[in-house]
Chain A
Amino acid sequence: MRRITIWLLSTVAALVLLFSYKTSTMGAGGESSAVASGTDRAGSSWSGTDGGTGSGPSTGGDSSTGGTGSTGSTGSGGDGTATGSVAQTRWGPVQVRITVSGGKITDVAVLQVPDGNHRDQEINDYAVPILRQEALAAQSARIDTVSGATVTSDGYRESLQSAIDAAHLG
C-alpha cells in the first residue's frame, strides 16, 4: 500500500507542478524528490497489494479517515489519507492531501496555498479543480499513456502525459 501511496502523492505533486510549468522550466520545484520517488504503478497494481480491492472505476465514495499528516501514511485496507510534501509552484508553496478509498483517490484537498496576494484565489478557483479532476480521471481510467494530436513542448507541460511521466521518472 505504501508504494501506491507514494505513487499517488507523486502524481498529485506532478499535477500541482503542472501549474508552475506555465512560466518556469521543467525540473523546477521543491517536490522533485516526491516525483523521483514514484515507483511502479502498472494499471493492475491497484488490486494487487494489501487491502486494495477495487480495480473498477472509482465510485467516489469518501472515507477520509486515518490521516496522520505525514508523507506516505495511510490507514489500513487501502483506505485513508496521505499528505504530500510542500510543492513550490509559480504562486508559492502548495501542499495537498489525498484521500484513498479501496486503493483509489477519492478526493484531493489543498492544505496550504500561498497567501498575502490574490494568487491563492487563483489556485483555489482554477488550479485545484483541474488537478482534482485530472487525478481522479487518470486513475479511474487507469491509463498508462495518452494519445493526442501532436503535442508541443508548451502543451506537454500541462498535459496528463507529463503527469504520468513525472510519476515514473527516476
Chain B
Amino acid sequence: MSGTVTEPDRRAWVAQVMGLPVSVHLRGPEVRTDAVAERVARVFAELREVDATFSTYRPDSVLSRLGGAVPDPTTADPLVREVVERCEEARVRTGGWFDARRLPLPGGGTGFDPSGLVKGWAVERAARRLVLPGHDLCLNAGGDVLLRTAPGRPAWRVGIEDPDRPERLLDVVARAHGAVATSGTARRGAHITDPRAGRPARAVRSVTVVGPELLWADVYATAAVARGADALDWLATLDGYAALLVDAAGGVRATPNWPGSRPATQTRAA
C-alpha cells in the first residue's frame, strides 16, 4: 500500500448460514484485525444458533418439534416469544398478506412457519455486533441487504437483480443506512404462499423494498409478492419505505419515492 491510498480498507467474509450465503463486508481501518474478525465470527455463530431454534427444515429445532403449532407465549423461550409477536405484528401491518400461521410445512401439512420473518429479524439482531466506530457495514443474506455507513463515507451501491436475467441489474440504489430486501419467484420458484388463496403466488415476479429496517423491508416485500397485482399501490402507502416491482409479464414499476433511476412507472422495454 502506498501513501496515496485514501479509501478505507475493505474486507469480506462469507459463510453458509440458514441455507443461505451470508456475506459481511466491512470498510474501515481495523478490518484486518483479529478483534474485527472475531466479531464477524460471532455474527455467523449467532445466526447459526437462530437457525437451530427456528429452522423448519431441522427436525430437532424448537419450531419443528411443535409440528406447526404456534409456540405458547407463556412458556416459550424469550426469543421464540419475540418472533411470535413479530409475526403477529407483521400480519397486522400487511393486512394479512404476511401470515405465518398457515403455511405449507417442509414435512407436509400446514402450520406456523416464521421463516419469512426470521431471516430479516435475525440478521438485524446479529448485525448489532458489528457497530464499529469509523467502519461501514454491508451485510448481504441471500439477497437481503443491511447497510450502515460512518459519517463522511460514501453510500453503498446496491444493484437490484433482474429476476429474469440474474446476471443483469434492473437498477442501482445508493444507500448509507437501512435495508434493501428482495422477494420473488426468480431463484426458488413460486414459494411464497398467497395466504387467502392458500396456494403459491405467481402474479408478481419480484419485489424490492428499500427502507430503514431489514425485518420490515423483507416482510413487506414478501407480503407484496403474495398480494399480487395491486401490491404497488399498497407499497406506496408504507411510511419510510419505497419499492420496485416486476410483474409476471416483465413490467417494472416503482413507487413514487423509489430512490433508484427507475421512474415511478415504466415498462421494461429495453
Contacts and interface: CB of A to CB of B under 8 A. Distances in A.
B203 to A, nearest CB: 15
A156 B182 CA distance: 15
B239 interface: no
A80 to B, nearest CB: 18
Contacts of B169: 137, 141, 143, 146
B117 interface: no
Contacts of B206: 148-149
Contacts of B167: 130, 133-134, 137, 160
Interface of B: 1, 4-14, 16, 19-21, 23, 25, 27, 138, 140, 142-145, 154, 156-161, 163, 166-169, 172, 180-188, 206, 208
Interface in A125-155: 130, 133-134, 137-138, 141-153, 155
Contacts of A109: none
A75 B158 CA distance: 31
Nearest to B143: A148
24 contacts: A40-B10, A42-B8, A44-B154, A48-B6, A48-B7, A130-B167, A142-B157, A144-B158, A145-B23, A146-B140, A146-B169, A147-B145, A147-B159, A147-B182, A148-B184, A150-B144, A152-B20, A158-B166, A161-B21, A161-B140, A162-B14, A162-B21, A165-B12, A165-B23
Contacts of B5: 3, 40, 49
Contacts of A155: 166, 187
B157 A43 contact: yes
Contacts of A43: 154, 157
A147 B161 contact: yes
Contacts of A138: 159
A126 to B, nearest CB: 12
Contacts of B6: 48
B159 A143 contact: yes
B187 A151 contact: yes
Contacts of A168: 10-12, 25
Nearest to B136: A42
Interface in A28-66: 39-45, 48-50
B182 A149 contact: yes
B138 A147 contact: no
A40 B28 CA distance: 10
Interface string A101-142: 000000000000000000000000000001001100110011
A149 B189 CA distance: 10
A145 B7 CA distance: 18
Nearest to B167: A134
A48 B169 CA distance: 25
A159 interface: yes
Given A48-B6, A137-B167, A144 B143 contact: no
A100 to B, nearest CB: 17
